[in-house]
Structure 1
């Protein structure tokens, strides 16, 4: 039965679970485990939104931590959902997509390692199916588990039992597991990894049993007899002037169809024949008393036979619920694994290492830009390497500082780098592969503040009231901030940024702050931090900004607004507009964005070689 914990989770969202049998409890819990949002909504009688929320609460209870503790900001949650949407698009079935969209992050290192190992195993299965030329076939089998559009159901005297309903609702998935076992062969990774304990003979027996009860609904006998009466009269009208013998033959032929359709026994057949032929006349009409008597006897027999069949079927199926639950859950996990493997192949994703101090990656790429590149909507994405804090399993990427300020060219890729770092961190917490050649991630909550979010806040008061508690909290976290300066004038913003960085430098937090205010900030920074810069090299032959997007470490990047103005000047067509751009460009000639020496030579910047393994 469902544990009291699940009842408590449901009450958190004002849902009262009504469970009257073990089968119903298994049905509800099974739908939650495979993230069957639509099936759960129908089973519990709630909206799709509440069903999805209940699944999320269940997943959080399994991981032992609320998602809002790991992804506390709106931007963190949105990025997680955007990433999962990319992965879900590769799934074949609706339940597979929902399963991926329902994934929740965790800080448990062993749980993450276990999830990443599942990704490795899934990729092995993906490769083997592809090598054998059976990948598309497997995906089609998975896709076939989606519910089909329903038609009007036949009338039944009694509802199906809870046990039979449990199996019939899962029949397409049971069949899919059997079909996958058939195409995979006995020694394939598909068997050894996903379906080790699933007995194909048992699945065959279940499918055979379900087929026996398929179409066993009690028909509407009155409707069948009424249809026959209409057909008899149509035939009689067509043959005007026919004799009594021919009329009797028409009636007997249609009565035989009724007997066959309703599977009447000899007594019922005799009764319906008597009701048809005792008072043969034109227009034709069955004797209603005889019909009612015959149908009553027929229906009583049908109910008895169906009850006996139900008992027989339940006896066969009752003890195999656990097998079916396992098969269903593993099939959805397989769909998820193949979707993840497809992403790994398409975007060269890799399995990250789990660290205990910092975060870093080699040749990382923005996953959203990679998608655009694969669709021909963007240029080739330049890989970059970056790190915060000290990495243990990753060779040295940058000097190991917990706090970094990222400066540099307009449109140079600072925000893209910040998003890539956030992506690699969040995907690791979800136990999913990441877009880099190598990566090491230490699990911790991530506070992501995107530029568009800080602008939407619109108020320095609101921004500070949101940010200061984050830095005051002593629990270790990753904080990523994009251009805080948009909220106030540069001088004040520089001092606020410096205060934040000074505070972070004395904590165990990891902080990356993207800013154009290096010269306003650095004089107020009192503790060791790292300042990195992205440099623009000019305009390329297409008039686009040429940028080396790999940051230089311990180096202030130039904002280079003059390159942006040159780009706009080249694109301008009207003389007056060109003249104004030229005037702006002239005002920028000789302008330097910082008075500091680059590479940096500041007293708290270490000249030692980067540490790392």
Structure 2
């Protein structure tokens, strides 16, 4: 696959995709989550690439939204869905649902939506989704105590790419490996020819190590789960609440997460905790043990009956007099007892085992002194031994836990993916319930039929929106009084058609929509156009008429572009041309009668009927009536005045003009 042939993929993005496993599958399936994990690809760009991949898979030429107004209406439709998603991913994932004129894509999207509409939206799920995000890779990880070694150039480059957190060294022979073993605690050799040799240090020959991150870099797996702890816990909560089958055992996941600290270190192992404390507290514990010994000797000296008074003797020794011979002669038993107390204090404080206690013998094993002294070289050796013991324990635990985590890495990816897709499904289900939606029937021909459609874009409470029934096949004029709802009806038609071609439910009791190739929606012009703009508009309609088969054309009061007399003739000409094509069109116009008169062919006219004026308020039936030229607001007002006036001859004469 030529990656750069996909919309949204440039050369840099193509290079980043080429570095991941199986980029073709990720792109072909439109996997937004996997795409967003690729270096340099944001969730927004991932949605764009996924949308391009979907179009490619369905051989979709695109371009369904053929005008600015059509694109704007799609933006409104998408916003209605996105504002019901909780996660940023969910909002971007919804962007992959776009209006398409290809039946296979509509069917694919409808299958997803049909499943989503079966879901019951839940506040508890929404709350749990607040913490769900795509999994993140840990950053800044650096492992300095081990290296990978190889004499093969290609394997060297691959190791550098796959394990940037570890040093990769060149090793041509056994001697160079031995030299590396003196610089690193652990050397992992990737070349099989070195297997079976004896090494002076911790050297492992593992040709398959590049495929075993749990062996090479267990810290990476620990850091991955530590960084993503809250996301995984939130995804697990979503599965528990919804009852959806998880990709991994949630109790096992909770257990391994409890054994990883936020910084990626191991927690919960008593022996490792003891060793960590011992290393950290060694100096303080030695100082405390020394004080215990000093206090014991101090008390013993005060009580000792020697040639000089005990208090005088104490003063002398505290002034630095040599006392080793005096201690040996007069207080040898007490000194030995003091040393034993110091050793016991150190062993107890650090919870040392029998083997470690032997080092304590060396720490307090010098000549008798007061105050008691300890051997700093013995403390240093003991610290080195404790540190090595701690690191061995930690590395063993990390390797063991990393082996468990390696089996969970793909399942937790799927766990989070499923939770994020629940957000998408719940957003669709919430939208469908909020606006009483149904899944429309998409047909090959027939225009559109909407029953009890209600627009969610009107600036009123949705429950107060009057339902509209409207059906059009072919070319039709839509007439009606001012503020009677012609534009909102056109918006409703455009919105329902867009949702249907997205594969989404529509805000109606029933809808049957022809699969259109393009939607051309022309909004009402703001004032009469100058000559240049008028010419440009006519060129647009000239292009529209040329090859218009399968299109839906919605036009709102095109007569405003120029003088009414000329407008009626121009619109009539456009409608004549459209009737010769397989086009469905609705033109809203106040000049419906004039356009009919100017047209050389029969043009259907529907009308939004005015019921009359009540207390100055216009009362209308919002559902257009077929083959009905609606009366204007001025006509209604004149009629009202004619009925109210004592002498109605003037008003009746005006009525005759209509």
- Could you say which TM-score interval applies, normalised by the shorter chain? 0.5 to 0.7
Asked if the contact 1:480/1:513 (under 8 Å) is kept, the reply is yes
CA contact (8 A) 2:138 2:227 kept: no
- Counterpart position of 2:53: 58
Pairwise CA distance, 1:147: 7.7
Q: Does 1:144 align with 2:131?
A: yes
2:88 paired with 1:94: yes
* Cα distance in 1 for residues equivalent to 2:348 and 2:7: 55
1:422: Cα distance to partner? Answer: 0.8
For 2:581, the equivalent position in structure 1 comes to: 507
Q: State how 1:144-543 maps to structure 2 within 5 Å.
A: 144-146=131-133, 158=165, 172=230, 174-184=232-242, 191=244, 195=245, 198-201=246-249, 203-215=250-262, 217=264, 312-313=400-401, 315-318=403-406, 323-357=411-445, 358-369=447-458, 372-374=460-462, 380-389=464-473, 402-452=474-524, 459-541=533-615, 543=616
- 2:72 is the counterpart of 1:78: yes
Query: Structure 2 vs 1, CA of residues 87 and 264 (structure 1 numbering), >3 Å: closer, same or farther?
Result: farther
Instruction: Output the CA distance in 2 between the equivalents of 1:480 and 1:552.
Output: 18
Contact 1:28–1:44, Cα closer than 8 Å, also in 2: no
CA change 1:477–1:7 in 2 (3 A) is: closer
Cα distance between partner residues in 1 of 2:398 and 2:449: 60
User: Relative to 1, partners in 2 of residues 1:489 and 1:456: Cα closer, same or farther, differing over 3 Å?
Assistant: closer
CA distance in 2, matches of 1:447, 1:440: 16
The CA distance in 2 between the partners of 1:93 and 1:57, in whole Å, is 22
Distance verdict in 2 for CA 1:344–1:535, change over 3 Å: same
Over 3 Å counting, the alpha-carbon distance change for 1:292 and 1:413 in structure 2 is farther
In terms of mean alpha carbon deviation, does 296-305 or 339-348 score higher?
296-305
Deviates more, 1:425-434 or 1:314-323: 314-323
Cα distance between partner residues in 2 of 1:322 and 1:154: 21
Q: Structure 1 residues 491 and 29, CA, compared in 2 at 3 Å: closer, same or farther?
A: same
Contact 1:532–1:555 (8 Å) recurs in 2: yes
Give the match's secondary structure for 2:544: helix
Q: Is the Cα contact below 8 Å between 1:156 and 1:218 reproduced in 2? A: no
CA RMSD, Structure 1 to Structure 2 (Å): 5.4
- Which residue among 546, 554, 565 is the counterpart of 2:627? 554
Cα offset for 1:4? 4.8
1:323 shift after superposition: 4.0
Unaligned runs of 5+ residues in structure 1 are 186-190, 237-241, 276-286, 390-401, 568-586, 596-613
Q: How does the TM-score come out when normalised to structure 1?
A: 0.67
State the partner residue of 1:279.
Answer: none
User: In the alignment, is the contact (CA less than 8 A) between 1:384 and 1:550 conserved in 2?
Assistant: yes
| Aligned residues of 2:43 and 2:89 also touching (Cα < 8 A) | no
Match of 2:553, SS state, is strand
How far the C-alpha of 1:356 sits from its partner, in A, is 1.8
Q: How far off is 1:353 after superposition?
A: 1.3
Residues 1:501 and 1:165: Cα distance change in structure 2 (over 3 Å)? farther
SS at match of 1:549: coil
> What is the DSSP-based 3-state SS (H/G/I as helix, E as strand, rest coil) of the residue aligned with 2:457?
helix
Q: Determine if contact 2:219/2:264 at 8 Å carries over to the other structure.
A: no
User: Structure 1 residues 102 and 8 mapped into 2: Cα distance closer, same or farther (>3 Å)?
Assistant: closer
The separation in 2 between residues aligned to 1:66 and 1:266, in whole angstroms, is: 76
Q: Distance in 1 between matches of 2:537 and 2:73?
A: 20
Using the alignment, how far apart are the partners of 2:617 and 2:596 within structure 1? 31
Q: Aligned pair in 2 of structure 1 residues 35, 48: CA closer, same or farther (>3 Å)? A: closer
Q: Which residue of 1 aligns with 2:329?
A: none
Count of residue pairs brought into register by the alignment: 515
Tell me, what secondary structure is at the counterpart of 1:406? Answer: strand
Given that residues 268 and 294 in structure 1 are in contact (C-alpha distance below 8 angstroms), is that contact kept between their aligned partners in structure 2?
no
> Secondary structure in 2 aligned to 1:493?
helix
- State the Cα distance separating 1:475 from its structure 2 match: 3.9
Alpha-carbon displacement from aligned partner over 1:359-405 (angstroms, at most 9, x marks no partner): 11111111212x7314xxxx82111111121xxxxxxxxxxxx0011
Q: Distance in 1 between matches of 2:554 and 2:376?
A: 82
Higher-Rg member (1/2): 2
After superposition, give the CA deviation of every residue in 1:151-202 in whole Å (9 maximum; x if it has no partner). 99898755877766776676555544543443455xxxxx4xxx4xx4553x
Please list every run of 5 or more consecutive structure 2 residues that lacks an aligned counterpart in the other structure.
145-164, 166-216, 267-276, 297-337, 365-374, 641-649
Counterparts of 1:511 and 1:494 in 2: how far apart (Å)?
Answer: 16
Distance 2:450 2:54 in 1: 29
Match of 1:17 in 2: 15
Distance in 2 between residues matched to 1:268 and 1:355, nearest whole Å: 85
What SS does the corresponding residue of 1:360 show, helix, strand or coil?
A: strand
Relative to 1, partners in 2 of residues 1:333 and 1:49: Cα closer, same or farther, differing over 3 Å?
A: closer
Deviation of residue 245 (structure 1)?
5.5
Displacement of 1:112:
2.7
Question: What SS is found at the alignment partner of 2:439?
Answer: coil
8 Å CA contact 1:408–1:557 kept in 2: the answer is yes
